């Protein structure tokens, strides 16, 4: 382009000028729109029915029930949980190794989801993995936990969730002991331990 180029408007078709006010209005509307966090229902919990195995606190199997998934907004979960519980169980965080209350727990009992009380793991399946997190070779019942692919942190892992409320519990790896060969690596803060009487 030379020093004395014709004005820019001569290079733009007339139709473009007709649409510019609408495009500008759309951009203003998008930029002024406030971001509202999605409720947990929009992140996977649908209130749909799920079958669970019920256990007493003494780890006795009581039977199967069909219940609706627990669905709450992020604000409702924040009111119910501590800041650390919310960060891990609802925001998929991870506690630091060797800091959780259950990584070195050897008592007999049942581990329940911190969010909804669903029985998720038992002491009979717990083993010392040396990782600094509570580790189990199986859940207390397959129905009570679910899994999904996790591609965060630039790696592919399998996330473990509570089937009743979709709380983030931890991850499962294929380097555990017999009989399953699995290691459910779970955050203590996502659990409540009920000692066996």
Separation CA 109–CA 40 (nearest Å): 30
Separation CA 116–CA 165 (nearest Å): 7
Domain presence at residue 26: no
What's the pLDDT score for residue 146? 97
Domain presence at residue 14: no
Domain presence at residue 18: no
Domain presence at residue 17: no
Domain presence at residue 149: yes
What's the pLDDT score for residue 46? 57
Question: What are the residue numbers of the active site?
Answer: 185
What is the DSSP pairing of strand 157-162 with strand 168-173? antiparallel
Separation CA 86–CA 67 (nearest Å): 23
Range of the domain at 79: 40-195
What is the DSSP pairing of strand 183-186 with strand 135-136? antiparallel
Structure tokens of 72?
Answer: 């709450």
Contacts of 143 (CB under 8 A, 6+ apart): 50, 51, 52, 53, 64, 163
Question: What are the mean pLDDT values of the chain's consecutive 10-residue runs (197 residues total)?
Answer: 45 44 38 31 58 92 95 96 98 96 96 98 96 98 96 90 98 97 98 94
Domain presence at residue 19: no
Split into its structural domains, the chain has a count of 1
Contacts of 181 (CB under 8 A, 6+ apart): 137, 174, 175
CATH number, domain at 178? 2.170.150.20
Burial of 95 (0-12, 13-18, 19+ CB in 10 A): buried
Domain presence at residue 111: yes
């Amino acid at each position: 382009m030379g020093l004395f180029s014709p004005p820019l408007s001569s290079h733009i078709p007339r139709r473009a000028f007709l649409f510019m006010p609408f495009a500008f209005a759309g951009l203003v509307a998008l930029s002024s729109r406030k971001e509202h966090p999605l409720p947990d229902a929009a992140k996977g919990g649908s209130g749909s029915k799920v079958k669970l195995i019920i256990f007493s606190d003494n780890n006795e199997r009581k039977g199967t029930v069909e219940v609706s998934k627990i669905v709450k907004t992020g604000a409702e979960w924040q009111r119910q949980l501590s800041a650390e519980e919310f960060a891990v169980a609802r925001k998929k965080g991870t506690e630091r190794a060797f800091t959780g209350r259950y990584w070195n727990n050897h008592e007999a009992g049942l581990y329940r989801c911190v969010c909804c009380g669903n029985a998720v793991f038992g002491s009979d399946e717990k083993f010392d993995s040396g990782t600094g997190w509570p580790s189990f070779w199986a859940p207390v019942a397959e129905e009570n936990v679910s899994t999904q692919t996790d591609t965060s942190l630039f790696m592919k892992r399998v996330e473990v969730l509570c089937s009743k409320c979709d709380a983030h519990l931890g991850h499962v790896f294929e380097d555990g002991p017999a009989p399953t060969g699995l290691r459910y690596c779970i955050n203590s803060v996502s659990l409540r331990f009920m000692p066996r009487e």
